[in-house]
Amino acid sequence: MLVSAKEMLTKAKEGHYAVGQFNINNLEWAKAILLTAEEMKSPVILGVSEGAGKYMCGYKTIVGMVEGMIEGLGITVPVALHLDHGSYEHAYKCIEAGFSSVMFDGSHYPIDENIAKTKELVAVCNEKGLSLEAEVGSIGGEEDGVIGGGEVADPKECAMIAGLGVTMLAAGIGNIHGKYPENWKGLNFDVLAKISEECGDMPLVLHGGTGIPADMIKKAISLGVSKINVNTECQLSFAAATRGYIEAGKDLQGKGFDPRKLLAPGVEAIKATVREKIELFGSAGKA
Ligand code: 13P
């Protein structure tokens, strides 16, 4: 059964560790992440972007697939199925389809509009028992073709949104989606400390987990980050392993072309990446 992310994140905040949100793209991704979380006895959040939702034939297909996998694979750790960077319309679509958690990303609206829409969704999610993530200060980089410069959130605005009763809050602190450029200045810990102070025990979310050095991840967790999103890194490991298999000519040997064989190294590579992140985030054994 899918669960809201509220309990796992409250525990993470109290226990000074973070739960990973790993984005899924297809059956292989979901299976690899669920099996690794189970193996490590870690709670996990499966993230679905609007683009990935469309690719996987709609939110209902995803709910059916993930619920089926939890049963079929005998997954016992808490699993939340979460809309990543949802628009107002898609947040409602996911609530209707049976997601257990949604993100409403109103960071591009003027703060008053972000507040009004977030407030409305807090009420709906509370009534249905879903967790809700809000965002202040857009995260830079490219996601689903949208390229953002990356803002640093205003801690006062963060407190205003946190006060609406959301479950978790994403705030821009110099983090970006995708690979970090050579000249990246790193996370802005001064701002993170201020946001943390303003937002009390609200679990904070760090987007753009790919490529953030381990020491920065640990420092971010010590300053109140309880959820870390990782997407690109699993894609890179999957692609590299698949490239290795094809370049070694293994698809041409015997039945190496069978998709179950062809995709296996990529799946193992996703598992290794997820394992490494769960270790780093400190959520192993916390299920
Ligand atoms: P990365 O693709 O940089 O890991 O970011 C993932 C993310 O933040 C999803 O919301």
In the prediction, which pLDDT does 275 show? 98
Ligand 1 midpoint to CA 249 (Å): 32
Containing structural domain, residue 39: 6-281
Q: Give the mean pLDDT of 112-137.
A: 96
Ligand 1 midpoint to CA 253 (Å): 36
In the prediction, which pLDDT does 151 show? 78
- Asked whether residue 124 is assigned to any structural domain, the reply reads yes
Q: Using one digit for the tens of pLDDT, what is the confidence trace for 96-124?
A: 999 999 999 998 899 999 999 999 999 99
- Contact residues of ligand 1, CB 6 A cut-off: 23, 47, 84-85, 177-178, 207-210, 229-233
For the domain that residue 95 is a member of, what is the CATH number? 3.20.20.70
In the prediction, which pLDDT does 182 show? 86
In the prediction, which pLDDT does 137 show? 80
Q: What percent of the chain is predicted at pLDDT more than 70? A: 96
In the prediction, which pLDDT does 148 show? 54
Q: Number of folded domains in the chain?
A: 1
- Asked whether residue 231 is assigned to any structural domain, the reply reads yes
Best substitution site from 230, 237, 274 to test ligand 1's pocket, by max atoms within 8 Å of Cβ? 230
Q: Which atom of ligand 1 is nearest the CA belonging to 230?
A: 4
Ligand 1 midpoint to CA 162 (Å): 22
Element at 81 (helix H, strand E)? strand 79-86
Ligand 1 midpoint to CA 213 (Å): 14
Is it the case that residue 146 has pLDDT exceeding 60? no
- Asked whether residue 39 is assigned to any structural domain, the reply reads yes
With beta carbons less than 8 A apart as the criterion, state whether 101 and 133 touch: yes
Q: Give the mean pLDDT of 147-173.
A: 88
- Asked whether residue 1 is assigned to any structural domain, the reply reads no
User: Active-site residue numbers?
Assistant: 84
With beta carbons less than 8 A apart as the criterion, state whether 132 and 121 touch: yes
CA distance 115 to 279: 35
- Asked whether residue 287 is assigned to any structural domain, the reply reads no
With beta carbons less than 8 A apart as the criterion, state whether 5 and 19 touch: yes
Name the residue with higher pLDDT: 181 or 57.
57
If DSSP codes are grouped into helix, strand and coil, which group holds residue 129?
Answer: coil
Q: Using one digit for the tens of pLDDT, what is the confidence trace for 262-281?
A: 999 999 999 999 999 999 99
Burial class (CB in 10 A: 0-12, 13-18, 19+), 221: buried
If DSSP codes are grouped into helix, strand and coil, which group holds residue 43?
Answer: coil
Q: Using one digit for the tens of pLDDT, what is the confidence trace for 174-225?
A: 999 999 988 888 999 999 999 999 999 999 999 999 999 999 999 999 999 9
Whole-number average pLDDT of the chain: 95
Read off the pLDDT band of 144 (50, 70, 90). Answer: low
- Asked whether residue 97 is assigned to any structural domain, the reply reads yes
Predicted TM-score of the model (pTM): 0.96
- Asked whether residue 286 is assigned to any structural domain, the reply reads no
Best substitution site from 177, 216, 233 to test ligand 1's pocket, by max atoms within 8 Å of Cβ? 177
- Asked whether residue 202 is assigned to any structural domain, the reply reads yes
Q: Give the mean pLDDT of 218-237.
A: 98
Sequence length of the chain is 287
If DSSP codes are grouped into helix, strand and coil, which group holds residue 210?
Answer: coil
In the prediction, which pLDDT does 181 show? 87
Dihedral angle of Cα 68, 70, 74, 75, to the nearest 10 degrees: 170
CA distance 148 to 170: 15
